[in-house]
Amino acid sequence: MDRFFSTDTKFYAAWSLLADLVIINLLMVIASFPVVTAGAATRAGAVVVREMVREEGSRPARTFLRALLRNWLSPSLWWLVTLVLGSGIAYEFYVISRATWARPAWYSQPA
């Protein structure tokens, strides 16, 4: 049973990876609470996962914070542009769905 929970087994490696991913997810959620920083948080999470895949680092929280603070302006600006465009598209769909003038005069609601 001691070999099963040893740090050299695949079982331990899988649970360690899962724990690291949960930590990254929690950090991304916390960093995304101000909607403005959601783009930077997503990029920082991608940087950490990329380093995990390349097996370059083993400290996800420190790497996440370093990536978030090092490069936050560009992803945040792109996120704001995406947010504005998405809001505009959602508003257009709302206006179109509420338009009653778009129905022809002969159209009537079924009783």
**CA 85/CA 91 separation, integer angstroms:** 10
Q: How does residue 23 score in pLDDT terms, banded at 50, 70 and 90?
A: very high
Across residues 25-36, what is the average pLDDT? 89
| More confident: 3 or 94 | 94
Across residues 58-69, what is the average pLDDT? 88
